[in-house]
Structure 1
Amino acid sequence: MGCMAQRSPYAGKRPIGYPVIEISTANSLGDRFGDDAVSTTTVKLPVEALGDAELVRRMSKLPIDQQPFWLINWRALEAQRQNPQSFPLKPNTFIDGMMFQR
């Protein structure tokens, strides 16, 4: 007789952390309007910049002690998003080697 772990079956079998995101390219999305020459890549900007890339560029040239907090905080959050922390699953002593044994 086997025993199931406390982890929910909806949680999956992968380590806890960020989910795996499938990367899609412009080629996989197809050409909807017949214009292949235009790049559809958007520039990542903080919400507080209200879409103004020039503002972010000018603020980035200031010394770090004169830059607004929202810009410094946004950079730190983007760095964290690029390198997420994940945790491996620990071995389960209750079911390891005992699955489906009678």
Structure 2
Amino acid sequence: MAMSTHKNKPSSSIKTRTEGTTLVEVLIATFISLSVSVFLLSNYARTQYLLDTLKTTQQRHQTRLVQSKRNLLHDEYDQTWLDVKALESITPI
């Protein structure tokens, strides 16, 4: 009987080693999965911030363009008919 219990011990320790190895593999896979998830969420947040910044910058640029176009359309001074009459005296070449 001593022989049969001796034979059972190695298979029992192999089973324990296999379970321990499986546990380590599961822990490593979980760590990798969590690391990738955190990395992706971090990059998503950075991308959203960058997108918001780009939109804000584009809106400011567009507003400046519209304002500069309006400034080209409107003179800084008021024109009167007296100004037009003064130009009538110019003779063409």
Larger radius of gyration: 2
TM-score (ref. length: structure 1): 0.23
Which has a greater percent of helix? 2
